[in-house]
Every structure is written in C-alpha cells, then in structure tokens.
Amino acid sequence: MLSVAAIAGLCGFIFFTRLHTYGEPLERDLTTYAVIAHEMLGGKTLYTDLWDHKPPAIYVTYAAAELIVGYGRDSIFLMNISAGFATLLACYFAGSAAGGGRLGGLVAATLWALASGDLAIEGNQPNTEVFLNALLTSGFAILMRAENRNLGLRAALLTGLFFAIASVYKHIAAVEAALLALAYFAWPAAGSRKKALANVVVIAAIGALAWGLVFSYFVAQGRGKAFTEAVFTYNAYYSGSIWQNLGHVLSWPRVSADVLAAVFPLAILSLAGTILGLIFGPRRPWIFLLTFAFATHIAVLLPGRFFPHYYQLWLPPLAIGGGWSVSFLKRILPAAFSRLAYIVAGATCGILLMVEAPYYGLSAEFWSVKKRPTIIR
C-alpha cells in the first residue's frame, strides 16, 4: 500500500511539474512530428507527401494522441505525462529487481521523477527520447526481474516487443537492445546458456519481424524506396562517420555544466553502488547495469550530434543504479548503521531538488529562452 501511495504521489509530481511548462513555445522537433501526424490523419503519406528522417513510430504516436485529445498542446501534454508515468513504473519495477526490493524501487522511481523534467536536457517535452526511455527501461526491468531463472517464452516475447517498438522510434535503440541481449547470453541465469540463447533468438526474431512488417507495409504502399532513402540513406549521411562518433566513447563531448548538474548526483550514487556490488556481489545485476549504461553512452554518441535531449537516455540506468545502490548499502551495513542508506538516498534527492527547483521559478516562456538562447531573443 505504501508503494502504491508513493507511486501515485510521484505521478502527481510529474503531472504538476510538466503542467508548469504547458504553455512553453514548442520546439522544432515536436512541431515537426505534430504537423506530420496531423497531415497523415488528413490523408497525406509519410516519406512522400510528408518528409522527415525518423522511423514511423513517433508520427503514429503523435497521430494517436491527436485522435484522443485533439490537435495542439493537449496532445503534447498527454504524451508527455504518459511517457513520464510509464518510465516511472518501469524504473520502480527495475529498481525493485535484483534484490533491490521496495526500497530500491521507490528510490529509483523518486530519482527518475525528480530529474526527468530537467530543463538542461529538455526533459519536459515529448521528444523521441521519452518514449525510448519508457520502452527500453521496461525491457530492462523484465530482464532483471527474471532474477536467477530464465525469461521463458512469454517474458522473452514481451522484452523483444518493447525493444522492437523502441527501435521503430529511433534506430539507436537496436544497439541498446543488442548489447543487453548479449549480456543476457554471456551471463545467463542459473548457468543455462542454451536456454538463454533461445530467449535471445526470440528477442531478435521479434525485432526482425517488426522491421520486416514496417518495410513490407511501405513497399506494399509503393513507398519502399522513399522509406529506405529517408530512414536509412539520409540518416547515414546525417550521422556522418560512425567510427568518428564512437571515437568519443571515453569522453562526454559538448556536455554543458547544466546537463552535468542533472546527472552527476545520480552518477556518483550509481557508481559507488556498482563498485560495492562488484566487490561484494552478486555481480550479475551490476554487470547488466554497466551494460545498460555503456549501451546508453553508445546510443548517445552514434547520431554524432550531441543535442541536449539525447542525454535524457542516461536518466533511467542512473536512477535504477541509484535505487540498487541504496538498497544494497542497507543490506551490507551492520544493523546499527543501516540508516545511513536512507541518509544517502535523502541527500541525493535533496541535491536533485536544489538543482531542479530554481527552474520552476521561471516562466514557461523563459524555459524556451534558456534552451535556445541563440535563437530566441
């Protein structure tokens, strides 16, 4: 009952903090998706009449939101809070896995709620990253909640579905899915690598089937070439050299101090917990967390553009790591010092509140000015 009340309270927090910027001037990406979705509903075709270079899921999502609440800010707000709520739940379930329990889940969910709307990473608006976070974190949660048993067919199908849909929002999700699946095979539950391989094959098959269906749809519509050129050919040009982009793997290129302020408290807590977890074990969940974090870093680097909203992808693995760290600290400390875990969690949340609270003293319009100071004057 306490967990339900806490999750409800955190959902309320997300609702009201997003409501604060309801009237913010909409960003270029959002208006592009909204206009394309609106015209699609009016009968125009994607990649021919309407051109953009994202896979189709983002436009379908915007069109669905328009059908529910109409064309305009209400649909933007609906997607915003829906993705926030979904990722909040995914962080809770992932944080409560791997021995995290209710404490780990609640800390992970709280850290996510506090940081997810950060101005510097443009987290208060529904760009593609908010949907990637919901889907990839859900898939990660299923992998982790399997604990010391294999996924089984149903869980493997669901994991594959989450990962596949994420990739139809943005190609880079396939990299995160592939690396997590590789980690699942390399460190199988209960030592059964043959069963783990079967699960990985199912996950990969769902991804291949999803993209096969998408491609077949556009071919059947006579738009196969337009789809391929927009989504693959142009994006290869847009991203530039993959190897040059990956050359930043040991650095954080073009990251502002404001972005670092949003992720630094989470990163320190997660790193401390990971070190302790790898030393005192069990190691498997911490290896998965490191894989999730590394895959996220690769996903941020691959497009080669380093826009602030890309760094939203860092929040779920760091929030989950924070939840696991607090729970693990409580388990390994002597009973007389177990309260230190709560102090650490409270201190991290307090730091995040100090970072985020000043933003909410600014008007919605000024959020736009802070995000685009060289464009909006």
Q: Where is average pLDDT lowest: 27-36, 70-79, 266-275, 330-339?
A: 330-339
Checking if the pLDDT of 295 tops 70, the result is yes
Burial class (CB in 10 A: 0-12, 13-18, 19+), 291: buried
> What is the C-alpha separation between 221 and 133, in angstroms, rounded?
31
Helix then strand count (H, E) for the chain reads 17, 0
Beta carbons of 328 and 281 less than 8 angstroms apart:
no
Q: Sorting pLDDT into bands at 50, 70 and 90, what band is 167?
A: very high
Vertex 90 angle, CA 84 and 92, to 5°: 105
Token duo for residue 181: 């699946």
pLDDT in tens, 109-122: 999 999 999 999 99
Q: What is the pLDDT of residues 88-109, one digit of tens each?
A: 999 999 999 988 999 999 999 9
Q: Is the per-residue pLDDT at 377 higher than 60?
A: no
